[in-house]
Amino acid sequence: MADGPLPSWQNTPTKQAIIAFVEDVTDPKSPNFVPVPERIATFDNDGTLWAEQPMYAQLFFAIDRLKALAPKHPEWKQQEPFKSILNGDLKGAATAEGKKALIELVMATHAGMTSEDFSNIVKEWIATAKHPTTGRPFTKMVYQPMLELLTYLRANGFKTFIVSGGGIAFMRPWTEQVYGIPPEQVVGSSVKTQYKVMNGQPVIVREAAINFIDDKAGKPVGINQHIGRQPIAAFGNSDGDLEMLQWTTSGKGKRFGLLVHHTDAKREWAYDRKSTFGHLDKALDMATKQGWTVVDMKSDWKTIYPDF
Amino acid sequence: MADGPLPSWQNTPTKQAIIAFVEDVTDPKSPNFVPVPERIATFDNDGTLWAEQPMYAQLFFAIDRLKALAPKHPEWKQQEPFKSILNGDLKGAATAEGKKALIELVMATHAGMTSEDFSNIVKEWIATAKHPTTGRPFTKMVYQPMLELLTYLRANGFKTFIVSGGGIAFMRPWTEQVYGIPPEQVVGSSVKTQYKVMNGQPVIVREAAINFIDDKAGKPVGINQHIGRQPIAAFGNSDGDLEMLQWTTSGKGKRFGLLVHHTDAKREWAYDRKSTFGHLDKALDMATKQGWTVVDMKSDWKTIYPDF
């Protein structure tokens, strides 16, 4: 490639820092050389690999599911948070009280079916749903520079993982096609599941109970549980990623931490310390102290989204 | 290779069934062709990849740990199950009441430290401990025919996973070297963990509480959680593997289930329906009905252990 490995990245210190890290740890003559099996890189999803404004894609999914299921649940017309959500009043979902509402919404729409049925529902939704302000399919709300970064890392022997607060079962049906990340390399939040034989057919049933929240201090726990080794590079964009970056960059040898800072109100959204979705405050302060690389989306990225 | 891909397997219907399956699902012209990313194979560990008699290797480890820790715990001299175990009376561990004792033993020896410290303890033990009757290192109590099977499957585009009732953190420090299976492809039982910053150093702390038991109906649940897709081939040896084989072989398309039947009292051990470790009863009955392949260790395997 005439433009080198990251064509959608401006030739700024950010891009240079990424390339310098990769060239160093993959150089057998470098004191910082890392063998291929240990080249583990973890990526947050919402706000890091794809857009998270005006709210998480999974929340659009949950609301669409709620509407689809509403005819079978006439009681929801009188019952909060369903009543407000069905009436298009979403303010609650973004408040502190909304956190409880959010869990109720997820449980009502993400459980009570087999894992295979849920996967098919997600596949159908992701193939047809459109982002409300851009009109793009959600799978085209991914960041072109980050797709190139995933490819570049894999070309250099890295194994790339998603480590997201989002639902593991919501991501797995499409991450392989969109990011080149197979289901077994996706770590996320989950509901409890049970193995059952129903009418002679073995199935995994999704229950309306939280199993694991893969956010904040849950991210290193989830990584340790799923991957079993400390990443050497971690990529995030919010305070939810603080512990993942902290743990990753505290390890022995050369490490790399990166935060995507949403600074581009024109081409995407500009937000950080005051945002509900993708709240970035403490981690931004910590970045300087810890030597984490911060992407200034406005000046570091030539393009935001892929063509479609 | 002059002997073909599985040189330590006798040329019996068992070997032929394995090869016929692999050749079928990897043949692009076959109606049963499976694309590479979906070629997921899961293996039980104890009794399937390595020996589990006279008891699980992890139990030897736990007892060695208990002895090493005993000087710091004088109260154990008066406290069951520690008192009996330290006195060499292990009968309890093999009884129903022993199940509670087993959990207490594991909690006393596998928790209360960081994940990194535990990993180092396991590495030190596995490098030095010897099997009590054969005198072999435990890593040489693995089955040569199964090592060849792992290699053969990987050479045919399969991704191989361990799915064991044993501790995930007990296996991960050595599975890559011994089986060629990296930590992120090991699924097992686990204790609860927490992320903490101790003296400025981020760590994962192991707590004395069960997080997940990856056995029986827990195996499909663990596979769904870690891998996120149904295997097309599963390999086990006991009733603890029944649900894993049942779920795997119930999937659409061509599937393969295999049980290792320990029939070789001379070269290994002969046991099934009456054994505490590796209890094989219902799954053996089910094998015929479900079309699972059963390895007769005595007649199907030319050699049992690798040279060392």
**From B197, B204, B221, residue closest to A224, measured CB to CB:** B204
Q: Which band of pLDDT confidence, cut at 50, 70 and 90, is reported for residue B91?
A: confident
Q: Does residue A182 belong to the interface with chain B, where contact is any CB pair within 8 Å?
A: yes
| A98 pLDDT more than 80 | no
Crossing angle of the two packed helices A242-249 and A218-226, in degrees rounded to 10: 60
pLDDT value of position A2: 53
- Cβ of B308 under 8 Å from any chain A Cβ? no
> What does pTM read for this prediction?
0.96
Are A56 and A175 contacting, i.e. CB atoms less than 8 angstroms apart?
Answer: no
The share of chain B scoring above pLDDT 70, in percent, equals: 97
Contacts 24+ apart (CB under 8 A), B173-177: B173/B119, B173/B122, B173/B123, B173/B126, B174/B122, B174/B123, B174/B126, B174/B139, B176/A37, B177/B139
Listed in sequence order, the residues at least 6 apart from A289 whose beta carbon sits closer than 8 Å to its beta carbon are: none
Q: B16-57, pLDDT tens digit by residue?
A: 999 999 999 999 999 999 999 999 999 999 999 999 999 999
Average pLDDT, chain A: 95
CA nearest to A50, candidates A61, A37, A38: A61
Tell which residue, B163, B194, B171, B139, has the closest CA to residue B306.
B139
Average pLDDT over residues A252-277: 97
**B193 vs B76: CA distance, rounded Å:** 25
Nearest to A228 among B184, B194, B247 (CB): B184
Q: In chain A, count H helices and then E strands.
A: 11, 9
Per-residue tokens: B107 = 């909690």
Q: Supply the angle between the helices B242-249 and B282-290 in degrees, to the nearest 10.
A: 10
* pLDDT of res. A88: 87
Any A CB within 8 A of B8 CB: no
Q: Which pLDDT score, from 0 to 100, does residue A97 have?
A: 64
Partner residues linked to A210 by β-bridges: A191
pLDDT band at B219 (very low <50, low <70, confident <90, very high): very high
CB contact under 8 A, B217 and A224: no
Residues A44, A237: Cα–Cα separation, whole Å: 8
User: Is the predicted pLDDT of residue B97 greater than 60, yes or no?
Assistant: yes
pLDDT band per the 50, 70, 90 thresholds, residue B277: very high
Band of residue B105 on the pLDDT scale cut at 50, 70, 90 = very high
How is residue A13 written in tokens? 């210190």
B37 touches chain A (CB under 8 A): yes
pLDDT tier at B180 (50, 70, 90 boundaries)? very high
The more confident residue out of B100 and A41 is: A41
Average pLDDT over residues A265-285: 97
pLDDT (average), residues B112-125: 97
Cβ-defined contact of B195 to A247 (cutoff 8 Å): yes
Whether residues A217 and B229 touch (CB distance < 8 A) is answered with: no
Given CB atoms, is A202 within the 8 Å cutoff of chain B? yes
Residue A103 banded pLDDT, cuts 50, 70, 90 = confident
The amino acid at A26: T
Cross-strand pairs, A187 = A163
pLDDT (average), residues A27-44: 98
In this prediction, residue B243 has a pLDDT band, given cuts at 50, 70 and 90, of very high
Of residues A85 and A26, which shows the higher confidence score?
A26
Contact state of A221 with B193 under an 8 Å Cβ cutoff: yes
Q: How confident is the model at residue B3 (pLDDT cuts 50, 70, 90)?
A: low
B120 touches chain A (CB under 8 A): no
Q: Is the per-residue pLDDT at B94 higher than 60?
A: no
Q: In the prediction, which pLDDT does A234 show?
A: 98
Choose from A224, A248, A249 for mutation: most chain B CBs within 10 A: A224
Closest to A195 (Cβ–Cβ): which among B186, B193, B247? B247
Average pLDDT over residues A110-138: 97
Say yes or no for a CB contact (<8 Å) between A37 and B195: no
Which residue on chain B is closest to A184 by alpha carbon? B227
- Give, in order, the Cα–Cα distances in Å from A205 to each of A96, A119, A165, A172, B252: 30, 12, 21, 16, 18
Express each pLDDT in A200-237 by its tens digit: 999 999 999 999 999 999 999 999 999 999 999 999 99
Q: Looking at the partner chain, which of B168, B204, B224 has a beta carbon nearest the beta carbon of A204?
A: B224
DSSP B208: E
Which 3 state secondary structure label does DSSP give B21? helix
Cβ contact (<8 Å) for B195 and A172? no
Query: What does the pLDDT average to over A245-255?
Result: 96
Query: Is B78 an 8 Å CB contact of chain A?
Result: no
The helix (H) or strand (E) run that includes residue A247 is helix A242-249
The whole-angstrom distance between A93's CA and the closest CA on chain B is 27
Nearest-5° angle of CA B202, CA B205, CA B210? 150
What is the structure's pLDDT at A89?
Answer: 83
Residue B151 predicted with pLDDT over 60:
yes
pLDDT of A241 over the 90 cut: yes
Size of interface A-B (CB pairs under 8 A): 88
Question: DSSP 3-state helix, strand, coil percentages of chain A (rounded to 5)?
Answer: 45, 20, 35
Asked whether the beta carbons of A86 and A60 are under 8 A apart, the reply is: no
Rounded to whole angstroms, the Cα distance separating B129 from A148 reads: 47
Residue B93 confidence class, pLDDT cut points 50, 70, 90: low
- Mean pLDDT confidence for B109-120: 97
Q: What is the pLDDT of residue A20?
A: 98
B289 touches chain A (CB under 8 A): no
H or E stretch including B189? strand B186-198
Query: Using the beta-carbon criterion (under 8 Å), do A204 and B186 form an inter-chain contact?
Result: no
Token output for A207: 């229950």
**What's the ipTM?**
0.96
Question: B74: distance to nearest CA of chain A, Å?
Answer: 33
Nearest to A243 among B195, B217, B220 (CB): B195
Dump strand ranges (E) for chain A.
40-43, 113-114, 159-167, 186-198, 201-212, 233-236, 256-263, 270-271, 293-296
What tokens appear for A243 in the block? 């512990």
Is there a contact between B215 and B242 (Cβ–Cβ < 8 Å)?
no
A139-149: per-residue pLDDT in tens?
999 999 999 99
The Cα B32–Cα B254 span in angstroms is 6
Question: Residue A27: helix, strand or coil by DSSP?
Answer: coil
Determine the average pLDDT of the residues in A238-257. 97
Q: Are B289 and B125 in contact (CB under 8 A)?
A: no
